[in-house]
Amino acid sequence: MAVEPAVYGASERPPRGDYTRAGSDYTCEQDYAAYTEEDHDTYRRLYERQAALVPGRACDEFIRALPSLGAKERIPHFDEINARLRKATGWEIVTVPGLIPEVPFFTLLANRRFPVTDWIRKPHEFDYIVEPDVFHDLFGHVPLLFDPVFADHMQEYGKGGLKAHGLQACELLSRLYWYTIEFGLIAQDDGLRAYGAGILSSPGELLHAVEGPAPQRLPLDIERVMRTRYKIDSYQQTYFVIESFQELFDKTAPDFTPVYERVKALPEIAAEAPTVEAEPAT
Ligand code: PHE
Ligand code: FE
């Protein structure tokens, strides 16, 4: 996907994964035998660091579901997560070699299958990765698939992606993915929390997004999101806040066909644009 978190740098490198392992739907088997003790140790250290930061910063739904990932000391077997996930929401995770193209990505989501990269970053990439790895995909994305409303929303996003593809609107829709599923914030009764995977899997961005003084935090506005560019190589300067996953579901439920048309006719907004924009007088 063209849509991935601030912890990844922009680059022209070819993707790291071995795509000869994958079938035509881009899925493959989790290559568990390929993990080294160093890989398991990397996962354990990433999990431990992040688990210490999420209380009071991640949304309740995430905190509640995190134990469902299972093993913290080693990279989990995806099959074991699936036994719990299928029961909770009917979703399953499938293995992919890395980022995959839009259409197969949307097709998996539309069928309640979430693609998870199986390899893990090397120790020298501990704090900064250029492509999503198993830690980002599992820790960041999978806990919320245990939440029924969020789970339904992800499937609708997949269906909406296939529709956007036919309307040449994938870039606009990817901004929605970026500012919600990757970098979304939620206002809980007891304070602001993160639900976006790019925030939840990054220690620095978690602090910056939830309690940092710098970023602007705006209520979720679909057209505004679709107009707003994003930075992939730094922390976000703009976040969009929802009150509940039901709000996210409801705001994305209308037909986007006319929305895309409107947004395509409007100027883009810079990632760091000030809250009050100078709109041309009409
Ligand atoms: N409602 C959107 C459409 O009609 C699809 C969508 C649903 C997109 C949920 C994102 C999230 O195109
Ligand atoms: Fe992601």
Return the residue whose CA atom lies nearest to atom 10 of ligand 1.
157
| Beta carbons within 8 Å of 86's beta carbon, 6+ residues apart | 92
Residue 252 CB less than 6 A away from ligand 1 = yes
256 Cβ inside 6 Å of ligand 1: yes
CA 54/CA 77 separation, integer angstroms: 23
Is the four-CA dihedral 171, 182, 194, 145 of positive or negative sign?
Answer: positive
- The answer to whether 141 is a known ligand-binding residue is yes
User: Is the CB of residue 235 below 6 angstroms from any atom belonging to ligand 1?
Assistant: no
Of all ligands present, the nearest one to the C-alpha of 134 is 2
Under CATH, what is the fold of the domain 21-264? Phenylalanine Hydroxylase (1.10.800)
Tokens of 155: 């499937």
User: Residue 20 C-alpha to ligand 1 middle, in angstroms?
Assistant: 32
Cβ-in-10-Å burial (0-12, 13-18, 19+) of 40 comes to middle
- Region 251-280: mean pLDDT is 85
Nearest of 113, 115, 50, 48 to residue 85 by alpha carbon: 113
Give the ligand 1 atom nearest the CA of 153: 9
What gap in Å lies between CA 41 and CA 30, rounded to an integer? 18
From 74, 70, 154, select the one nearest 108 (Cα to Cα). 154
Distance 217 CA to ligand 1 centre (A): 23
Sign of CA dihedral 206, 229, 131, 176: positive
Question: In the predicted model, is pLDDT for residue 177 greater than 50?
Answer: yes
Q: What are the φ and ψ backbone dihedral angles of 86, each rounded to 5 degrees?
A: -60, -40
Atom of ligand 1 nearest to the CA of 254: 1
235 close to 12: Cβ distance less than 8 angstroms? no
Average pLDDT of 73-94?
98
**CA 218/CA 56 separation, integer angstroms:** 20
> Which of these ranges, 12-21, 128-137, 242-251, has the smallest mean pLDDT?
12-21
What band does 15 get if pLDDT is binned at 50, 70 and 90?
Answer: confident
Q: Is 174 a catalytic residue?
A: no
If you measure from the C-alpha of residue 124 to the centroid of ligand 2, how many angstroms do you get, rounded to a whole number? 21
Average of pLDDT values for 35-58? 98
What is the average per-residue pLDDT within 25-51? 98
- H or E segment and range at residue 27: none
Is 138's pLDDT higher than 80? yes
Is 182 labeled as catalytic in the residue annotation? yes
For 92, 118, 165, 190, the CA distances from 99, given in Å and listed in that order, are 18, 11, 17, 36
Q: 3 φ, ψ to 5°?
A: -115, 100
The interface predicted TM-score (ipTM) is: 0.98
- Among protein residues, the one with the nearest Cα to ligand 1's atom 5 is 160
> Given this model, what pLDDT does residue 10 score?
45
